[in-house]
Amino acid sequence: MAFRLTKEELKIYNHLLAALSETADKLHETVAQFNATMTEAWSAVEQMQNRYNDQVQEAQKFVNTVHESRQAEFDAKSEKWQDSDDGQVAYLWLDEWNITLEDSDLEVPESVEVIGLSFNDLEELPT
């Protein structure tokens, strides 16, 4: 004799399966909405990142111009002046201005994916 669910157990099983199936469908819909929203939101992030990177490049040009100009002034001074207290202060100032500003390199996040819902296992049980 093979096992079978009782009428009451079958009723509970079917109720649980229907509820889980409905909720799983809503979960898939919600994830799809989230992914669409994330894609739209990423567009705004990408726009701001591009704007930021453009400003970083502008600032880097300024930093380079200032550094190169002051480096030329420093190099034109005598070795005696460069070794003096004022020269050492100027050298440290130049060193602080010798920087490279980094662009933002955010990457689009992966979308959310619903996988391996356990209700599928429930659905495949013999009744």
CA distance 56 to 101: 7
> Averaged over 78-107, what is the pLDDT?
95
* Short-list 115, 120, 127, CA closest to 27: 115
- Give yes or no for residue 100 having a pLDDT over 80: yes
- Give yes or no for residue 111 having a pLDDT over 90: no
Does residue 22 contact residue 103 with C-beta atoms inside 8 Å? no
| Residue 56 CB neighbours (<10 A) | 14
* Domain range annotation of the chain: 7-103
With bands split at pLDDT 50, 70 and 90, how would you rate the model's confidence at 126?
A: confident
Q: pTM score, two decimals?
A: 0.69
- Give yes or no for residue 117 having a pLDDT over 80: no
